[in-house]
Chains A and B, each alone.
Chain A
Amino acid sequence: LIVAELAPADLESCLRHAGLRLRTGPVVTEVRSPLAALRQDLALHYAQHTVEPDSGFADFHVSVRSTGSLPSWSGGRVMFDCDGARPFAPRRADHGFELLEGGLDWCLTNHCHQYLIVHAAVLARGDRALLLPAPTGAGKSTLCAGLVYGGGWRLLSDNLALVAPASGQVLPLARPIRLKGHSIDVIRGFAPSTAFGVETRHTTSGGRVVFASPPAQSVLDSQSSARPTWLVVPRYDPGVGTRLDPHSRARAFMSLVDNAFNYDVHDRAGFATLAKVVDQCRCHDLTYNSLPEAIDALDCLAASDA
């Protein structure tokens, strides 16, 4: 059963009462929310995702609901809750879906230490993965969306690389891509047929945010892990041309460490895991000022290894 196969009334009832058990790659999350706006975004972006039965095991149980502190005519405030943990400040009701997405990331980075988790976009050609580790603001999500909607790359994740320590493989999540600020216009112009959610304004980051749906094929393939093959450190810089330069393995290793959420938690195993990743990869630096040129450069890199 996938979300798109649920009748709107069933989806609403599920989200309001028993909870919707949503599978994203290796993770099953039970989501509850009475918010209509969140339900619409969820139906759009998670249409192809599997709904798991209530009788099984769910990794996390989360809800996005009203705090009850403001009257409903004022729009109210909503909060994210995971079994009593409320890691974020309450937000405006129309930011419910964004809060849910942030909450799902929080569950992974705070609890899933069975993986080494790196702040990176992950894409793939077949079972060969491209890792783009970078801090927020480096143009990682823009490039990721460009590669997915314009370059035909498979989406594993736009911001979290889950690396299995034993195998060094990367696990897919195939969740919506979060775009913000100027990059929204870039992607709307570049791939107009993409399914975008409702744009929200004045969020904590101060700007606009919109989510773009993962391609159906990426969701279908979300049970297949991929082998790290290319490691590219991206940086958007409008002042220079697009360049893809080889990068030393040592520096690539450090870029993974700098962007890892739980490298220290894994101690020596963390070092061994990232070393395994870097050893399998061709490492590059990508500076870009044009999205089509950046996509071409990465397509060429992948083709040269075919």
Chain B
Amino acid sequence: MMAPPSPSPADLVCAALRQPQHLSALTPAGWDALVRQARCASLLARIGCTLDAQGSLDRVPDAPQAHLHAAMTLAEFHRVQAMRELALVHEALASVEVEPVLLGSAAYAAAGLLPGMGHVFTDLDIMVPDGRLAKVEAALLARGWIKGRAPFNGGRLDQREPDSCPTLEQAQRQCVVVVHRAVLPEALHEGSATPGPLGRTRAVEGDTRFAILDPADMALHVMLHLFHRADLGHALRDLSDLDLLLRHCGRAPDFWARLEQHVRDPVLARPLHQGLRFTNVLLGTPVPPAILKVAAATGGPLLSMLSDGIWARALRPRHATVSDGWTPLALFALRIRARRRRVPPALVLHRRPIAVA
């Protein structure tokens, strides 16, 4: 019924990210399909940046090359906007003496990390100490932000966040700041064996204004959010972020040892296992076989097969050419699972499954 986790031959985006050197052999019809899929997965700019880094962008045929350039121009605009917005957030939070920890794309942009490469984003995720949340909110409100999408907005769930974090919107600049209190969603934290809050932090190199997570915790954070979220519209992009992060940080001597500390944690083990395996299989991320083996020793075979089949579909570009009859069901199952912990089933069912044309 369900396929084992192997790259789908129709998924040109994964193939392009895994082996960009093979793109020189792509036919015009192949480019046609790749640009469509990559646009749906928000990975067009990243493919452009990857080819640019290899020095082969100018060998792409003119028409698809124009789209890669267009996406890269837009991604660079988003990055510059995010940096401007971060400067303003810093100013606001400095007034209440809070130093935020940047999460996700904000961290990549500020620290100049590889996942920032061709990243298209509008939301900035920051983490502040639990007790300072009210002050942080007040400081942002005083500087022109307004209270954003509430978790239960008009009976409809804010489906971006597994834990209900306050969001603040800048109406003129259309930028959303999501304020987190912890790396681990509250609902998950109870079951975790990890003592104390997850999230060793360090300062951004050359920029004392911000802190970011330690590389191993940053990777764990990406995995947790990817494999526990209800909105999987950008699942492949998040996986690609993780791939770049693992490639970038994996060279540090203690990185894998730090990740390995969590492989037996009841809450972290599964996302860690899935994150490592899917990046390895779909995007060719180099992962030490030892940690892959330890991580694999969790969960039964039947459950693993089912979950693999489901995730293999969720992690494809959201495009008709790479969807099959199981895709809507797989996405629906994952959405139910992500919300089951804290939301009544009636509300989960409130939203219709994501339509696949």
> Residues of A at under 8 Å CB distance from B?
28, 55-59, 61, 81, 83-84, 111-114, 264-267
Contact = CB atoms under 8 A, between A and B. Distances in A.
A114 B357 contact: no
Interface stretch (B29-37, B237-245, B251-259, B291-299): B29-37
A59 B31 CA distance: 10
B63 interface: yes
A57 B77 contact: no
Interface of B: 28-29, 31-32, 35-36, 39-40, 61, 63-64, 66-67, 69-71, 73-74, 76-77, 80, 318-320, 355-357
Contacts of B71: 113
Given A114-B66, A114-B73, A84 B29 contact: no
Contacts of B66: 112, 114
Interface of A is mostly: loop
B77 A81 contact: no
Contact of B32 (A57, A84, A267): A57
A61 B34 CA distance: 13
Contacts of A264: 77
27 contacts: A28-B63, A55-B28, A55-B29, A56-B28, A57-B35, A57-B63, A57-B64, A59-B63, A61-B36, A81-B357, A83-B36, A83-B40, A83-B319, A84-B40, A84-B357, A112-B70, A113-B69, A113-B71, A113-B73, A114-B69, A114-B73, A265-B73, A265-B74, A265-B77, A266-B77, A267-B77, A267-B80
Contact of A266 (B35, B73, B356): B73
A55 B357 CA distance: 22
A58 B32 contact: yes
Interface centre among A28, A113, A265 (most CB of B within 10 A): A113
Given A57-B64, A113-B71, 10 more contacts: A56-B28, A56-B29, A57-B29, A57-B31, A57-B61, A83-B36, A83-B319, A84-B356, A111-B70, A114-B70
B70 A113 contact: yes
B277 to A, nearest CB: 28
A217 to B, nearest CB: 25
B320 A84 contact: yes
Nearest to B36: A83
A55 B29 CA distance: 6
Contacts of B74: 113, 265
Contacts, number: 55
Nearest to A60: B36
Contacts of A113: 69-71, 73-74
A59 B69 CA distance: 13
A133 to B, nearest CB: 21
A57 B28 contact: yes
Contacts of A55: 28-29
Contacts of B80: 267
- Nearest 5 CB-CB pairs, A to B? A113-B70, A57-B28, A114-B66, A265-B77, A114-B70
Given A57-B64, A59-B63, A265-B77, A111 B39 contact: yes
B160 to A, nearest CB: 18
A264 B77 CA distance: 8
A29 B6 CA distance: 33
A80 to B, nearest CB: 13
Contacts of A111: 39, 67, 70
A29 B31 CA distance: 14
Nearest to B318: A84
B83 to A, nearest CB: 12
A65 to B, nearest CB: 10
A81 B355 CA distance: 12
A211 to B, nearest CB: 27
Nearest to A63: B357
A264 B84 CA distance: 13
Nearest to B68: A114
B63 A84 contact: no
A223 to B, nearest CB: 14
A26 to B, nearest CB: 8
B4 to A, nearest CB: 27
A286 B76 CA distance: 37
A267 B81 CA distance: 10
A3 to B, nearest CB: 20
A267 B74 CA distance: 10
B70 to A, nearest CB: 4
A33 B51 CA distance: 36
Nearest to B37: A83
A28 B63 CA distance: 9
A114 B39 CA distance: 15
A162 B70 CA distance: 13
Contacts of B69: 113-114
B316 to A, nearest CB: 13
A19 to B, nearest CB: 11
Contacts of A57: 28-29, 31-32, 35, 61, 63-64
Contacts of B29: 55-57
A92 B39 CA distance: 29
A86 to B, nearest CB: 9
Task: Kindly name the residue among B39, B71, B356 whose own CB sees the greatest number of chain A CB atoms within 10 A.
Answer: B39
Contacts of A61: 36
B73 A59 contact: no
A50 to B, nearest CB: 14
A111 B74 CA distance: 9
